[in-house]
Amino acid sequence: MATIIFSAFAAFAQCDLKRMVAYSSINHLGYCLLGIFAALKLTDNGAQWPIEKAAAMNGVLLQMFNHGLSASALFCLLVLWKSGPGVRGLNDFGGLRKWPQSSAA
């Protein structure tokens, strides 16, 4: 649970896009660990437990597959995007509105 919570807050606090994707990867794999631990916890001899274990492991595999596709695509886009030297921060991209620069300088 700590991996899920702390890495989500760490990803939210990042301004560098590569670091944001890296921390979100840790977050997604924390969810995979949570699913694996849930599957290991289901150890009763009831008839429904093998089905629930299979459902938990299928969820883990689906999350890992989706994470592999999305994270690798994001990293490839960040590496291939050469709009300037060292331009990968959130503040470098602009947006619909430009924030006024402070006149203290």
DSSP 67-83: HHHHHHHHHHHHHH--S
**Does the pLDDT at position 81 exceed 60?**
yes
Whether 94 is covered by a domain: the verdict is: no
Residue 103, in any domain of the structure:
no
Residues sharing a CB contact under 8 Å with residue 34, sequence separation 6 or more, in sequence order? 1, 4
Half-sphere exposure (CA, 13 Å, Cβ side) for 64? Answer: 11
Q: Which of 59, 17, 13 is nearest to 36 (CA)?
A: 59
Q: Cβ distance 25 to 3 under 8 Å?
A: no
**Residue 49 belongs to some domain of the structure:** yes
Looking at every residue in the chain, the average pLDDT score rounds to 79
Could you list the residue range(s) of the whole structural domain that residue 52 is in?
2-83
Number of domains in the chain: 1
- Cα distances (angstroms) measured from residue 23 to each of 16, 17, 102: 11, 10, 31
10 in any annotated domain: yes
Tell me what the mean pLDDT of segment 25-48 comes to: 82
Res 10 pLDDT > 80: yes
Calculate mean pLDDT across residues 47-58: 83
**Between 85 and 27, where is the model more confident?**
27
Residue 47 falls inside a structural domain? yes
